[in-house]
């Protein structure tokens, strides 16, 4: 029974998140139906990260076991054929080791958050960026973001519905830079808490508009209090852009 590793991109807007849910559209549900369509086999996909409602991915990683030894290119093309016209694409399929796990073998995950920072609203990127009209101080945002790097108790940035056993996580990278009309925030860590990236982004944005300082961000981190968190950024601008193995 060969194990396949899939590299996937998707637009999260039409779905209620990655994870399969009864009677609700999900990325997992759509891909599993596509696999059933071409192979006749009901599989249960394992993912590197369960993205929330409206969150996108350019490099999600999944794995599955199939009864038949299909060529990887056939698996990729067949799943894509059954996914038409949904905004999900299998970029790559390859044979993986029997002990490979998209979730447990992952050594790091990378997220990108896009903020459109201009007066005019997006026409082509509606639902794919967070539109903020007020000018953002990118240098202050980047400097403030460094207080989040390292091992911390991230209770302040942890959703109340988070099921992780511990709020302690280690952030390896937190970067903020401007790219044209957009402000980008990048975060890298082995794993993240539920809605942690969106929570951190919303609070860093408060620094960008001059409402908070770097010292205030450090203070709310140390508070270990969800009520201290700033506005949680919408899912629109969040992308899973890489998984390291």
pLDDT in tens, 25-73: 999 999 999 999 999 999 999 999 999 999 999 999 999 999 999 999 9
b/e map of 33-61 (b: 16 or more CB within 10 Å)?
ebbeebbeeebebbbbbbbbebbbbebbb
Cβ 174 vs Cβ 148: under 8 Å: yes
Enumerate the domain spans of the chain. Answer: 3-96, 108-244
pLDDT at 69: 94
Nearest Cα to Cα of residue 54 among 188, 235, 242, 205: 235
186 and 174 Cβ atoms separated by less than 8 Å: yes
pLDDT in tens, 65-106: 999 999 999 999 999 999 999 999 999 999 999 999 999 999
Catalytic residue among 11, 22, 52, 236: 52
User: 150 pLDDT band (50/70/90 cuts)?
Assistant: very high
Residue 234 phi, psi (nearest 5): -65, 160
Contact 151, 167 (CB under 8 A): no
Predicted local distance difference test score (pLDDT) of residue 99:
97
Pairing of strands 168-179, 238-244: unpaired
Q: Return the CATH class of domain 108-244.
A: alpha beta
Same fold, 3-96 and 108-244: yes
Q: Is 67 one of the catalytic residues? A: no
CATH of 3-96, one of 3.40.50.2300, 3.40.50.720, 3.40.50.1370, 3.30.70.580: 3.30.70.580
């Amino acid at each position: 029974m060969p194990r396949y590793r899939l590299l996937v991109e998707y637009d999260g807007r039409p779905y209620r998140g990655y994870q399969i849910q009864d009677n609700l559209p999900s990325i997992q549900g759509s891909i599993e139906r596509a696999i059933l369509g071409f192979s006749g086999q009901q599989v249960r996909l394992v993912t590197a990260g369960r993205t929330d409602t409206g969150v996108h991915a350019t490099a999600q990683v999944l794995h599955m076991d199939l009864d038949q030894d299909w060529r990887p290119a056939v698996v990729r093309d067949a799943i894509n054929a059954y996914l038409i016209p949904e905004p999900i694409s299998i970029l790559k399929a390859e044979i993986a080791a029997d002990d490979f796990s998209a979730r447990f073998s992952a050594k790091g995950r990378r997220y990108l958050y896009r903020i459109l920072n201009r007066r005019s609203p997006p026409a082509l990127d509606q639902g794919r960026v967070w539109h903020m009209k007020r000018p953002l101080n990118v240098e202050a945002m980047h400097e403030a973001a460094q207080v989040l790097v390292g091992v911390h108790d991230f209770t302040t940035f942890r959703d109340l519905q988070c099921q992780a056993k511990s709020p302690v996580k280690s952030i390896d990278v937190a970067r903020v830079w401007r790219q044209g009309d957009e402000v980008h925030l990048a975060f890298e860590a082995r794993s993240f808490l539920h809605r942690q990236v969106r929570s951190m982004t919303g609070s860093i944005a408060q620094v960008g508009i001059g409402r908070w300082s770097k010292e205030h961000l450090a203070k709310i981190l140390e508070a270990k209090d969800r009520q201290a968190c700033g506005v949680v950024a919408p899912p629109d601008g969040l992308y899973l852009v890489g998984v390291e193995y």
